[in-house]
Chain A
């Protein structure tokens, strides 16, 4: 089973049903999230039969658009609402991914979600980790989903 395909499926499902936003997989292949600028990252850990981290790296304008859709109000700055929305997105993606990895999702536990936000930062991989990064396009800009799994 191709994990990248499953990440794509999960993202499209969540964005269409919960965020009411059209997303598509970008033509551009990405291997690394790289230097993130004016971005907010939602992340959640996976523990159990599979150990890893799922991260969703969203440029600020896209994050504000997502939050506006979630809350039905106009969001114009990176505030607590945006942090909550992005963390919740990571939580939902994590939930989908763990079910994909184990069939029933019962043997993997999700950690508490977290968010990182800033003008300039880089998200690093540990050693002995398999990494998949997928770039998505939306009307407001792109975002990345990154899944790291311990080998």
Chain B
């Protein structure tokens, strides 16, 4: 399942922009995708959602604190002072929605992808890792509050 066949980097951009324009009312500018290993992402909050079935993978949104607060504020229509439950729930929900768009995308190719539930990690100092034979695509997005990253790791199941 090569990225070239599915143009997943483009689909990630489309899926994310769709969610952010309709639900967050936020304009995004996508940056050049990073395909493969490497690329340390500095973030304070990461929401991750597992994909199973036709594709085995993990979708994640990684945000620095200020960006997460800005996105949540726009999503909920209020001022967010700290990385609280609202932020955790908002970023988790956005991850769920982007994954939902990817599910629909794969369904167009008769690939049935099942979604798990989002979990969110909040911290001063952590990094996410683990490829386990999957292909990794990271797309940076620029919004009014700064940059965040969408990361998709995936492999085709049998």
Contacts and interface: CB of A to CB of B under 8 A. Distances in A.
Give the size range of B's interface with the partner: 35 or more
* Dominant SS among interface residues on chain B: strand
A69 interface: no
Contact of A112 (B58, B114, B117, B119): B58
Given A45-B51, A111-B50, A84 B130 contact: yes
B129 interface: yes
B130 A129 contact: no
Interface string B74-114: 00000000000000110010000000000000000000001
Nearest to A49: B114
Contacts of B126: 116-121
Contacts, number: 136
Interface residues of A, number: 41
Interface string B109-141: 000001111111111111111101010000000
29 contacts: A43-B48, A47-B51, A47-B53, A48-B53, A51-B115, A53-B119, A83-B129, A109-B53, A110-B50, A110-B52, A111-B52, A111-B116, A112-B155, A113-B130, A113-B132, A115-B128, A116-B121, A116-B128, A117-B126, A120-B123, A121-B123, A121-B124, A122-B122, A122-B123, A123-B121, A126-B89, A126-B92, A127-B89, A129-B117
Interface of B: 46, 48-53, 56-58, 60, 88-89, 92, 114-130, 132, 134, 153-155, 157
Interface of A: 36, 41-48, 51-53, 55, 80, 83-84, 87, 91, 108-127, 129, 148, 150
